[in-house]
Structure 1
Amino acid sequence: MSEVLKLTGLTRAFEQGGVRIEVLKGIDLSIMPGEIVALLGPSGSGKSTMLQAVGLLEGGFGGRIEVAGQDASAMNGDQRTDLRRSSIGFVYQFHHLLPDFTAMENVVMPQLVAGHAQGEAEGRARELLGALGLSSRVTHRPNQLSGGEQQRVAVARALANRPRLVLADEPTGNLDEATADRVFDEFLRLVRESGAAALIATHNERLALRMDRVLRLHEGRLHYEPAPNEQVGNSE
């Protein structure tokens, strides 16, 4: 079984006021199918920068990025876009739903872009929205949904094309604690059921302990921490 994500020597630096700032300093990481990994770190530690690299959202990175067995570092822009559409799903802190489209249409849209037929896309959207408790809300637009419901739609959209890799950047950071717990539970359940790999950036230590593995980004480098079950065992 091969890695869904493999990073080798990933680097990123910026020039600011004539000063070179190294944000990522040679990141190595492998994530296997079905594995959900927490990426911890305070604001400004580079978590979002790392996810932008892994998600093939911008250039300027050094090192090697392999997604679903394909070397994205060697691809041109169009090839990276195709790989991103076919293999990667995103959930952000703010839902970024299209305001003029219903919940159903927001989940259908990325499937149509990926080349799926309308009927197939609508069936998949109903399946996911139903699994997230939104069967009665499929015709509602974002401004007619609560914050938790909006984020559930964003989760459904991220999983619509059955991605091999799911990336999430503070996916419940904009919700109150009770709503965040419910949405996060549903998110983890659907990701696990899909068999996808996931890398979830958060500053929430409590949520991180519910994942399979915990990484901490500090001063541009990854630090591996004991698995959550090992931490629990050590505390007894």
Structure 2
Amino acid sequence: MNNPVVVLDQLTRSFEQGGVRIDVLRGANLAIGPGEIVALLGPSGSGKSTMLQAIGLLEGGFGGQIEIAGIDASRLGKDQRAAVRRDHIGFIYQFHHLLPDFSAIENVVLPQLVAGKAHERAQARAIELLTALGLEHRLEHRPSQLSGGEQQRVAVARALANKPQLVLADEPTGNLDETTADRVLGQFLELVRGEGSSALVATHNERLAAAMDRVVRIHDGVLEEILPA
């Protein structure tokens, strides 16, 4: 694999609970290539979210090595980790976490302004993404005025606003009904592929995982490749 966007090398994570040590990750290894969309399968509690938090550099306490876009993130300080997240990673969660007092377009513009983009360019980018997701008629609506599927599509646009090399999605359609989930996932995959980003999508839904380029399963704290039938 040429110049992978993500490399995990013997990633470990343990917690203490009631005086008992719980090993959530036991030496997970993974490489994701440019433009590759990988499904991360596993039941609730298997460590999917913990792994995404590690790759997203959202918390410490992990052993092993994490490389993002050629940067060894394992040894970075807090500010350096924040810069890698800002410059290279987009996030989508099961719940959209949109800012309730801002419109759809403002929710997509704001992360670009934080990254230093001029307002006019940020607004043009937001309109481009929201239009691609079929929300051109909902630009000025606040989250409370949008359906669940529309809210999640705004979250997709926000995650892609700064053209990240990597998108991390944690059960991105888990809060939607099956029909809406299929539609949102299809639009997400089409847009990510069109942008040329890589993605790691955590899900427990094997049917949705089958729509992606490759599937890995987390089992007993390690990753297993699932080969096509």
State the TM-score, normalizing by the size of structure 1: 0.96
- Share of identical aligned residues, percent? 70
> Aligned AA for 1:17?
G
Structure 1 segment 112-123 matched on structure 2, within 5 A:
112-123=113-124
**Offset of residue 174 of structure 1:** 0.3
Deviation (angstroms), 1:91: 0.6
Matched, 1:135 2:136: yes
Query: What is residue 206 of structure 1 aligned with on the other side?
Result: 207
- Displacement of 1:185: 0.3
Residue 215 (structure 1) aligned with residue 216 (structure 2)? yes
SS state of the match for residue 16, structure 2?
Answer: strand
**Over 3 Å off, 4+ runs:** none
SS across alignment from 1:42: coil
Aligned residue identity for 2:51: M
Distance across 2 between alignment mates of 1:169 and 1:75 = 24
> Which residue number corresponds to residue 3 of structure 1?
4
Identify the residue that residue 47 of structure 2 maps to in structure 1: 46
- Partner of 2:167 in structure 1? 166
Q: After TM superposition, list the pairs within 5 Å mapping 1:22-171 onto structure 2.
A: 22-171=23-172
Structure 1, unmatched stretches of 5+, are 232-236
Aligned amino acid, residue 27 of structure 1: A
Structure 1 Cα separation of the partners of residues 114 and 28 of structure 2: 32
Alpha-carbon distance, 1:218 to partner: 1.0
Distance 2:122 2:150 in 1: 20
SS at match of 1:135: coil
The answer for unaligned runs of 5 or more in structure 2 is: none
Amino acid in structure 1 at the alignment position of 2:221 = G
CA drift of 1:105 comes to 0.4
Amino acid in structure 2 at the alignment position of 1:224: E
Q: What residue identity is the alignment partner of 1:137?
A: R
CA deviations on 1:201-228 (whole Å, 9 max, x unpaired) are 00000000011111010111111110xx
CA RMSD in angstroms comes to 0.6
Alignment partner of 1:137: what SS? coil
What displacement does 1:136 show? 0.7
Partner SS, residue 43 of structure 1: coil
